[in-house]
Amino acid sequence: MVNTTESTDAQITDVQQTHLTARRHSPAEHLWAEFAKTASAEARVSLREIPFQVMVGIRVDPLSEGGRRIGAVTGGLPTACGQVTTGVAGMAVLWLGPDEFLLVAEEEALDGTLAAELVAALGDGAGQTVDLSSNRTTFELAGPSARAVLEKSCAADLHPRAFSTGVAIATVIGNVPVVLWKTDNETFRVFPRASFADYLGRWLLDGMREFTVAESTTWH
């Protein structure tokens, strides 16, 4: 009897979860039509939003016992500015500070137990792990001119000699505090907080115009 009740509860929770997932909105979804226009084959740069990524804020001394236990779950913790460690199921941990990290993962790749696993791993160690999935959204800027678009309003040195593939930093783009992660030669992921997504999305679109708008003959 008890088992039946439990499974019924679990089923109800599942149904509620599916219901909620279908109804949620990403912070920049009203810009998707504009973003899609940038994705033409001849465009030198394109922009898209990758909604609903799982993000977990981790505060821990990476050399402490708790830090080592968390590292065992995440595939290690980065130890210096710019570093990103990768783990199972596409999990990546970005360095934000000497004792502050951002875990990013695709929602589909996880079974929903990650946050609980991290809490258990930290145990009674000093620190915290907090689900921050709806704190930031993810933009992906890609193409041969992606760096040129960012350099218009990001003062960090993005030249490949200083900012190579795989590097992530916390910095500022167009007055918006972001985490910036170079995931490939010409691909950057930008993580603005949700309330800045509209502004930053439009800001990047504006910076992309010279590379995406087809030349109009009437201008000559």
Partner 1 sequence: MLLFPCPNCGPRNETEFHYGGQAHVAYPEHPAELTDREWAEYLFYRQNTKGLFAERWVHSAGCRKWFNMLRDTVSYDITAVYRIGQEPPALRTSQPTTGMGMSTTRQGTPEGVQL
Asked if residue 15 binds partner 1 (CB under 8 A), the reply is: no
CA 181 to chain CA centroid, nearest Å: 8
172 binds partner 1 (CB under 8 A): yes
Q: Is 135 in the site for partner 1 (CB under 8 A)?
A: no
Q: Which helix (H) or strand (E) holds 102?
A: strand 100-105
Question: Distance (Å, rounded) from C-alpha 174 to C-alpha 169?
Answer: 15
Distance CA 76, CA 86 (A): 7
d(CA 85, CA 102): 11
| Shortest Å, Cβ 143 to partner 1 | 25
41 is a site residue for partner 1 (CB under 8 A): no
Q: Are 71 and 78 in contact, with CB atoms under 8 Å apart?
A: no
* Minimum CB–partner distance for residue 177 and partner 1 (Å): 5
Cα 97 to Cα 116: distance, rounded to the nearest angstrom: 23
Q: Is 167 in the site for partner 1 (CB under 8 A)?
A: no
Q: What is the closest distance, in whole angstroms, from the C-beta atom of residue 63 to partner 1 in the complex?
A: 15
63 part of the interface to partner 1, by CB under 8 A: no
Binding region for partner 1 (CB under 8 A) out of 71-79, 112-120, 143-151, 152-160: 152-160
Could you give the string, one character per residue 75-114, with x where binding to partner 1 holds by CB under 8 A and - elsewhere? ------x--------------xxx-x--------------
Q: Check residue 160 for interaction with partner 1 (CB under 8 A).
A: no
* Shorter beta-carbon distance to partner 1: residue 110 or 132: 132
Q: Which is nearer to partner 1, 22 or 80 (CB)?
A: 80
Question: For 46, left (φ over 0), alpha (ψ -120 to 50), or beta?
Answer: beta
- Cβ distance 179 to 106 under 8 Å? no
Tell me whether residue 100 or residue 198 sits nearer to partner 1 (CB atom). Answer: 100
CA 54 to chain centre: 8
Q: 139, 49 in Cβ contact below 8 A?
A: yes
Using CB under 8 A, list all residues that contact partner 1: 81, 96-98, 100, 155-157, 169-172, 177
